[in-house]
Every structure is written in structure tokens, then in C-alpha cells.
């Protein structure tokens, strides 16, 4: 598909004089920042996402013909997405009372239900869906881990793996990716997204939607919009986001996902700027449809229409349904309020038939594009073939490589890792070392524990040829509420040459409704680590987690630390690959690691302050009890080798709008091992009409280098990407000098600059 060109730029010189901004403001009411603006519409899905084999005109004609035959009840049926349960009543499908079905357990049942739907009076097929955020049965790392690869190809490969496996069972759609940007790891759902940075979040959205589509599964972008900024990281709370921040940070990942072909978007069930999004017409219709031209399905989140009542914006079930349908929710996920209330609302004229037809048209359009009306594009799944098509060695190999690329090395004092010459005796401590669930992570879809090799078994098998004995003690279970096993664990540790502690967040402390107020190792785990430390043996800490934790105390007690998120089905093997050096880690932190909860929300791209932090200045930006810097910055991650950067250059010292800057840098492997470096480009705009972030990620490159080898790495920077949102959400590009920083993390120091000139 064609990418839409960027919005028309407001020319910098005029903006600098205040002319254009004033004119633009005069054209629309300042009270309505989402009013239609001259922004390019999103171009419809390309070949990966449109399997209809029909022209858009033919699709619309087929929809017209269907609509003409549909009763109001048929239409409302298409506007309902229901959950499947073992006592599911077939009449729902036979009578066309449901359009989308979530969570059907088996391939055989999906095939059977689809046969019923195709044989029904109108023959409208069902869409089958399930939340498959990082796999279906075979799991790649959780999304935050995939984002840590900083690698579009790894993310896309996990999407393709998920798509192939889920579609082989009969699935058409996943309720993912979650592209909510978030700076607050107290929110448990950070695990489902790509972290704190909008460039990485866009890259994630684009790669995931494309990969899923190539694998045969369609994506849902969620949760539109602002859920990632819930107050204090408390799940289901409200968010306050200014217009420029919404346009600069929170909307771009959605836009990127739509441009990659996503045709379903889930509205957030949270409140943004005082209004539940489910009832926000300006967002769901004004922005999404009228301004962006999105022509796919807007689905509510689970039960979100009914939740308008406890949100306090609807007095009754009837009013809740009216508000949602008027705002632009096409499909009711689970509440049942459309089926219950729309007949009455249409009869009384409170909901128009035109609005109903419009919603149904979108559902049918997406069904056509998914190829559902064409049995050749979406043939009936044969359960016997389905049984051979999942958990295959090929899918597991993809999951393994993704896991290797998502493990971040945070510390490695004295090059303790890798274990090239494993010691005689190793003590593995921690229940997670032999727990499949903590490797698999949250949102496991149809994953099976028995598919998941355990870390402890993998380590033992790998070290056996070296004659290493691997002892094990739990210390405590993965929740670690009790300390009665600590002494036994410490004894096992004391006998060993090296301790490998596997600690962190059990999978059930991550994802939805798992907000935390303390971000150290959960419960008594730090006390366990402290006890192991007193044994005097060197400790390698393997951290499993769904979010960046406050790791200061833990880091102090371990000589080497790897951060593996929840690495998925093959995570145990990938971890061993990293520990023994079969894989040289390359992943980076997709969120800053905080020192303390009091620093949150935190992101590296903060604005400058009038009083920059100065150690000996009491009246500079600081905390009196903690440093203002993160414990480890965004983009940080070690390797078993070292890289040196030199010869940074911009190809165009002066450049104009619409052009592409090229940045070149030499990266040399100055260590003794082959390794992969993630080269990061940051840009800062030192003088603009609004304060600009201290630095912003603007480009990435991946380079593999043998020891001693050097390569010139080039990163292209489309200049229009430097535009930012003004108070009305319009994009402005301003001339002037831009500073460039290139290196291996957001703390990169090698710098140069270029001039963006007015025409
Ligand atoms: C979550 C969504 C999810 C839905 C269906 C909701 O609680 O917010 O992200 O897609 O459930 O499982």
C-alpha cells in the first residue's frame, strides 16, 4: 500500500513570525482542536490486508446488496462481538445475532460455526478473534520484550509467527497490538506495549501490523487513545493529555499502524480529558473518521459501553448505548447493550438508521477485505491440518530467535558473563527457574506449559558436557511472601562457585489490572537476594519482568544482571544461550529504569528546564533525596564486546523541508567477540516556538561486527519528521539548527548539527 504523505507543513518562516499560526487558528474554533484539518486521509489497506479480490467499488456494491436484505436485527447482530463459552447457543450464529466471536477454543469448533454462518439466511461469515499479543500457542517474548530488540525485523517475525499459527487454527483477527505509549511502569499494561518512546512505538506498530498480516492475521490497534497515561499508573483511571502531547506522542503509533494496514481499532475504556473515550465523538468520529479518513471498524473495549454508567456519563443502559453509537463505536464488545437497546433507540429516533447502516457497512467492508466472503481466500480449516500446523519447529525457532534478541544485559562486572569456562558447581535459586508460566508471560492465548523448556533443565543440559553440577533451591515460591526457604537456599549457594538467581515478576503480576506502587523485586525477593549475597558467591541475576522495575538494590547485589522480560515459549533456552555466550546480547531498554517510584512518570525525552540540574545548586531541578537521572537510561544495553563510535557526519550541513538528511557514523567492534550494535540517532531542536525535548529518538540501525571490524553506518532522517504539534494539533516545522547525537543509548555523547533552512 502507499504511505500517505505527511500532513502539509506549515512553513517555518511564517510560523516564526506568528503569521500562519494566527491564520490557521482563525479558521477553526480554538474550542475544538479535533475539528477537520487539512490532513491527508489514511490510504486503505494494501494487498496483505485486502484479500477480497474485489475493487473498492465492487465491495461497496456487494455491501449495498446485503444491506438491502438485512432487517434491523440482522444489522444489530453485525454490531455485536461476543465471547464464546462451552454452552454457546448455535442459534446466535444461525440467526445472525453476532458478527464477531472471541475466544472460540478449537479449530474444529471455529470451522463448524463458520459453516453455520455461511449457511445462514444472509450467509455473512463470522470473524474469529482472540487476544494474541505475542503468539497464539507458541509465544515470542511479551511485546515490551520484543520492543527491546529495537529491531523491526524481529518484531515483524514475531507478528508473522503469531499470524501463521493463529490463522492456521481459523483465527482472523487479534486484539493487538497495543500501541499505547506509556511512561509509567506502575501501570501493569506496559508489558503489552512498546514502552516510552514514540519512534519505537511507531516502529513497533508498523512492524507488528505488517508481520501479523503477512502471517494471515489482521490487527486491532488499541486502546484509542490515552489509556497509557492513566494517572499514577493506576489501571482504569483517567488520563489528562494536552493537545500537542496527544498529537506528538500518543496518536502517532496509531497512525503508523493504520498506515501499515490495520482495519480495526479498539476504543480505550478509560477517560481522556474528562470524557470516557467510548462516548467521545470528537475522537472517534471527528479525528479518526473525518480527519484521518479511517474506514474500518471501531470496536469498544470489553463491556465498555455499559461502563459508561459507572463512569457517570450515562444514566441508563439506553443512554449508554445511545452515547456509544453516536460517538462512533461500530461494534459492542461483550456488553450486549447494542442488541438490547438499539431497536428502541432506532424506533424513537435517538439513533438513526443511517448511523446503523454506516456501522454495518464498516463491519461488512472489513469482512470483505479479510477475504471472508471468498471461501477460496479463507477456506474451511481442516482440524487435522490445524493440529499439525501449530507448535511446529519452524514457529519455535522464530520464538527462540526473538527471545535471544530481547534479553538486555544490564551489568557485567569483570566480564563475569558469558560462562565460557563454566565453574564446577552452580547454584540456581528461585522458583521461576523451573516455572513455565513466568517464561511465557501474560496474555498467553492458547499457549501450553508443556511446550516451554524450563530454564533449569536447559542450563543443566547445556553445562553437562563441561562437567558442571547445577544445584537448585527455590528460596521461595515466585510470589515470595515467605522467607522460610531462604536459609536452605543460602546453603546451596554457599557450596557453589557461582549463583544464578532467577527472580522478578511472576507473570500474574503483569498486564491488565496489575498496577504496582512499589517497583523493586516483588515481596521478599530482595531479602532473598541479600541473603544470597551474604553467602559471598558471585551472583548472576536473571530478571523476569513485565515492566521496568526499580532495580537499584538488586543491581548492587549482583555482579551480572540480565533483564529478560517474559521471554516466551523458548525463553529458557534463549536465556541459557545468553549466559553461555552462544548469543551475544544486543537488546536495549525500551523504557528507562527508574531509581525510585517517586521519579515516575519518567521518560528520557523530557523538556529542558529553566534551571537545569546542577549538583551544587540548590535551586536547580532536582530531588533532595534522589538523583534526577534514571538508574539506567532508555536505549541502554551491554554486549559481551564493546563498540567505539567515530567520524559522525551529516551529509547535508544545510537542508530544506521535504528533503532527507543522511547521518553517517563509523562503528568499530573494539572487543574480542563478534557482536551486534543497535545504533541510535537522537535529535534536539535547541530553539523553537515551543520547548522541544532534550533529545528524541529519530533513527535506528543494526550492525553486526566481527572483533576489530569497523563499518560506516548510515541512517536516513526525513526532515519532515522533525515537525511537531502546535496548540491545535497541527504539525509545524521550524527552521534553525538541529543537534544530532549518535551512540548506543539515549545518553549518546558523539554530536554534530545541521541547519534547516527556510526556502
Ligand atoms: C482489555 C482489552 C482486551 C479485551 C478482550 C479488555 O479487558 O482492555 O485489551 O482486548 O479485554 O480480552
Q: 3-state SS of 368-388?
A: HHCCCCCCCCCCCCCHHHHHH
CA 399 to chain centre: 17
Distance from the Cα of residue 501 to its chain's centroid: 28
| 211 within some domain | no
Separation in Å, CA 499 to CA 201, 513, 514, 543: 36, 33, 30, 14
Dist. CA 666–CA 648, nearest whole Å = 7
- Contact assessment for residue 752 and residue 29, using Cβ atoms and an 8 Å cutoff: no
Whether the Cβ atoms of residue 546 and residue 505 lie closer than 8 Å to each other: yes
Domain boundary, last residue among 356, 388, 420: 388
Q: How far apart are CA 556 and CA 530, in angstroms?
A: 10
Asked whether residue 168 is domain-assigned, the answer is no
691-727 tens-digit pLDDT: 999 999 999 999 999 999 999 999 999 999 999 999 9
**How far, in Å, is the centroid of ligand 1 from the Cα of 302?**
6
CATH code at position 496 = 3.40.50.1700
Residues 492 and 566 in one domain: yes
Among the candidates 335, 362, 388, a domain finishes at 388
Residue 671 located in a structural domain: yes
pLDDT of residue 14: 29
Active-site positions read 301
Say if strands 80-83 and 220-224 run parallel, antiparallel, or are unpaired.
unpaired
Q: Which domain holds residue 294?
A: 45-69+263-388
| Closest approach atom of ligand 1 to CA 220 | 10
Q: Contact at 8 Å (CB) between 113 and 126?
A: yes
Task: Please check whether residues 327 and 347 belong to one and the same domain.
Answer: yes
Residue with CA nearest ligand 1 atom 12: 131
Atom of ligand 1 nearest to the CA of 103: 12
Protein residue closest via CA to atom 2 of ligand 1: 301
Q: Are residues 403 and 383 in the same domain?
A: no
In this structure, are 546 and 432 located in the same domain? yes
Determine, yes or no, domain membership for 37.
Answer: no
Shared domain for 315 and 376, answered yes or no, is yes
Give the torsion sign (CA, 609, 613, 616, 618): positive
pLDDT score of 37: 37
| Cβ pair 708, 643 in contact under 8 A | no
SS3 category, 53: coil
Q: Are residues 463 and 544 in the same domain?
A: yes
Residue 737: CB atoms within 10 Å: 12
How far is it, in rounded angstroms, from Cα 741 to Cα 189?
31
C-alpha 568 – ligand 1 centre gap (Å): 20
Could you give the CA distance from residue 15 to residue 8 in angstroms, rounded to a whole number? 13
Segments of the chain scoring below 70 in pLDDT:
1-40, 43-45
Q: Which three cell numbers stand for residue 350?
A: 435517538
Q: How far is the CA of 138 from the centre of ligand 1 (A)?
A: 20
Q: Do the beta carbons of residue 79 and residue 324 sit within 8 Å? A: no
| Alpha carbon distance 322, 279 (integer Å) | 9
Q: Do residue 443 and residue 585 come from a single domain?
A: yes
Q: How remote is the CA of residue 744 from the centroid of ligand 1, in Å? A: 35
Residue 505 alpha carbon to ligand 1 centre in Å = 21
Q: Would you say residue 312 lies in a domain?
A: yes
- Out of 511, 512, 515, give the residue to mutate to test ligand 1, the one with the largest number of ligand atoms within 8 Å of its CB: 512
> Which pLDDT tens digit goes with each residue over 489-518?
999 999 999 999 999 999 999 999 999 999
State how far the Cα of 412 lies from the Cα of 400, in Å rounded to an integer.
Answer: 23
What CATH number corresponds to the domain at position 62? 3.20.20.300
Phi-psi region of 318 (alpha: psi -120 to 50; beta: other; left: phi over 0): alpha
Q: Could you give phi then psi for residue 573, rounded to 5 degrees?
A: -70, -40
Pocket mutation for ligand 1, best pick of 193, 223, 298, 302 (most atoms within 8 Å of C-beta): 302
Domain count, the chain: 3
Strands 675-684, 498-504: pairing kind: unpaired
pLDDT at 46: 78
- Can you give the pLDDT at residue 236? 98
Q: Whose CA is nearest to atom 5 of ligand 1?
A: 302
- The number of the ligand 1 atom at minimal distance from the alpha carbon of 334 is 5
Is 412 part of any domain?
yes
CA of 297 to the centre of ligand 1 (A): 16
Residues 507, 570 within the same domain: yes
Q: Which of 545, 577, 599 is the last residue of a domain?
A: 599
What is the number of the ligand 1 atom nearest to the C-alpha of 227? 8
Nearest CA to ligand 1 atom 8: 301
d(CA 60, CA 50): 14
The residue to mutate among 102, 128, 131, having the most atoms of ligand 1 within 8 angstroms of its beta carbon, is 131
Residues 751 and 651 in one domain: yes
- Whether residues 580 and 441 share a domain: the answer is yes
CA distances from 741 to 217, 223, 343, 409 (A): 38, 33, 59, 23
Q: What is the pTM of this model?
A: 0.94
The whole-angstrom separation of Cα 456 and Cα 464 is: 12
Is 458 domain-assigned? yes
* Contact residues of ligand 1, CB 6 A cut-off: 131, 175, 222, 301-302, 512
Q: Cα separation of 470 and 493, whole Å?
A: 11
Amino acid at each position: 500500500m502507499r504511505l500517505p504523505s505527511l500532513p502539509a507543513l506549515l512553513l517555518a518562516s511564517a510560523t516564526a513570525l506568528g503569521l500562519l499560526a494566527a491564520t490557521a487558528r482563525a479558521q477553526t474554533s480554538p474550542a475544538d482542536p479535533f475539528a477537520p484539518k487539512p490532513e491527508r486521509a489514511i490510504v486503505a489497506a494494501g494487498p496483505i490486508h485486502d484479500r477480497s479480490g474485489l475493487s473498492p467499488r465492487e465491495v461497496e456494491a456487494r455491501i449495498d446488496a446485503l444491506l438491502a436484505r438485512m432487517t434491523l436485527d440482522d444489522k444489530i447482530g453485525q454490531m455485536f462481538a461476543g465471547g464464546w463459552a462451552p454452552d454457546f447457543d448455535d442459534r446466535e450464529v444461525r440467526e445472525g445475532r453476532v458478527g464477531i466471536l472471541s475466544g472460540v477454543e478449537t479449530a474444529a469448533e471455529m470451522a463448524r460455526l463458520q459453516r453455520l454462518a455461511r449457511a445462514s439466511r444472509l450467509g455473512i461469515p463470522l470473524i474469529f478473534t482472540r487476544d494474541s499479543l505475542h503468539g497464539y500457542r507458541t509465544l515470542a517474548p511479551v511485546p515490551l520484550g520484543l520492543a527491546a530488540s529495537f529491531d523491526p525485523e524481529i518484531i515483524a517475525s514475531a507478528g508473522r509467527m503469531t499470524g501463521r499459527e493463529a490463522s492456521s487454527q481459523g483465527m482472523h483477527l487479534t486484539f493487538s497490538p497495543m500501541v499505547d505509549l506509556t511512561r509509567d511502569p506502575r501501570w501493569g499494561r506496559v508489558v503489552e506495549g512498546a514502552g516510552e518512546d514514540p519512534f519505537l512505538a511507531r516502529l513497533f506498530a508498523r512492524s507488528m501490523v505488517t508481520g501479523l498480516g503477512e502471517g494471515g492475521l489482521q490487527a486491532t490497534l488499541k486502546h484509542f487513545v490515552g489509556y497509557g497515561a492513566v494517572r499514577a499508573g493506576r489501571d482504569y483511571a483517567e488520563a489528562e493529555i494536552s493537545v500537542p502531547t496527544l498529537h506528538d506522542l500518543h496518536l502517532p503509533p496509531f497512525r503508523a499502524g493504520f498506515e501499515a494496514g490495520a482495519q480495526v481499532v479498539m476504543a480505550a475504556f478509560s477517560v481522556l480529558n474528562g470524557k470516557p473515550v467510548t462516548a467521545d465523538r470528537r475522537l472517534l468520529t471527528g479525528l479518526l473518521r473525518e480527519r484521518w479518513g479511517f474506514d474500518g471498524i471501531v470496536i469498544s473495549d470489553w463491556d465498555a459501553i455499559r461502563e459508561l454508567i459507572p463512569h457517570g456519563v450515562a444514566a441508563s443502559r439506553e443512554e449508554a448505548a445511545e452515547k456509544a453509537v453516536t460517538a462512533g463505536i461500530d461494534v459492542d464488545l461483550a456488553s450486549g447493550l447494542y442488541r438490547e437497546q438499539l431497536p428502541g433507540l432506532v424506533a424513537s429516533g435517538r439513533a438513526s438508521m443511517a448511523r446503523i447502516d454506516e456501522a454495518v457497512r464498516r463491519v461488512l467492508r472489513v469482512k470483505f477485505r479479510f477475504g471472508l466472503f471468498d471461501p477460496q481466500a479463507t477456506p474451511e480449516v481442516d482440524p487435522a491440518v490445524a493440529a499439525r500446523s501449530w507448535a511446529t519447529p519452524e514457529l519455535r525457532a522464530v520464538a527462540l530467535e526473538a527471545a535471544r534478541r530481547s534479553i538486555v544485559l544490564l551489568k557485567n562486572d569483570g566480564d563475569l558473563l558469558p560462562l565460557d569456562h563454566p565453574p564446577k558447581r552452580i547454584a540456581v535459586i528461585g522458583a521461576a527457574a523451573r516455572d513455565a508460566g513466568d517464561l511465557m508471560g501474560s496474555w498467553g492465548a492458547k499457549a501450553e506449559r508443556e511446550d516451554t523448556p524450563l530454564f533449569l533443565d536447559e542450563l543443566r543440559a547445556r553445562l553437562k558436557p563441561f562437567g558442571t553440577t547445577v544445584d537448585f533451591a527455590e528460596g521461595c515460591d515466585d510470589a515470595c511472601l515467605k522467607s522460610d526457604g531462604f536459609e536452605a537456599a543460602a546453603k546451596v549457594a554457599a557450596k557453589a562457585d557461582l549463583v544464578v538467581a532467577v527472580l522478578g515478576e511472576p507473570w500474574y503480576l503483569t498486564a491488565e489490572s496489575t498496577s504496582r506502587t512499589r517497583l523493586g523485586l516483588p515481596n521478599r525477593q530482595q531479602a532473598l537476594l541479600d541473603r544470597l549475597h551474604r553467602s559471598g558467591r558471585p551472583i548472576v541475576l536473571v530478571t523476569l519482568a513485565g515492566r521496568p522495575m526499580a532495580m537499584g538494590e538488586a543491581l548492587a547485589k549482583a555482579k551480572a544482571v540480565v533483564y529478560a522480560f517474559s521471554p516466551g515459549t523458548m525463553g529458557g533456552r534463549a536465556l541459557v544461550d545468553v549466559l553461555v555466550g552462544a548469543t551475544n546480547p544486543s537488546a536495549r531498554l525500551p523504557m528507562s529504569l527508574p531509581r525510585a517510584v517517586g521519579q515516575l512518570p519518567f521518560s528520557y525525552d523530557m523538556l529542558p528546564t529553566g534551571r537545569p540540574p546542577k549538583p551544587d545548586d540548590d535551586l536547580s531541578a532536582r530531588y533532595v533525596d534522589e538523583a534526577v537521572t534514571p538508574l539506567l537510561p532508555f536505549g541502554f544495553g551491554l554486549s559481551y564486546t564493546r563498540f567505539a563510535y567515530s567520524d559522525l557526519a551529516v551529509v547535508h550541513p544545510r537542508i530544506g523541508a521535504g528533503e532527507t538528511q543522511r547521518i553517517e557514523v563509523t562503528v568499530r567492534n573494539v572487543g574480542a567477540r563478534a557482536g551486534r550494535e543497535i545504533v541510535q540517532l537522537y535529535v534536539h531542536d535547541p530553539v523553537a516556538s515551543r520547548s522541544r525535548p532534550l533529545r528524541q529518538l529519530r533513527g535506528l540501525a543494526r550492525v553486526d561486527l566481527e572483533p576489530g571490524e569497523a563499518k560506516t553506518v548510515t541512517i536516513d532522517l526525513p526532515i519532515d519528521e522533525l515537525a511537531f504539534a502546535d496548540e491545535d494539533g497541527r504539525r509545524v516545522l521550524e527552521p534553525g539548527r538541529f543537534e544530532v547525537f549518535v551512540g548506543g543509548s539515549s545518553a549518546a555523547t558523539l554530536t554534530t548539527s545541521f541547519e534547516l533552512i527556510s526556502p
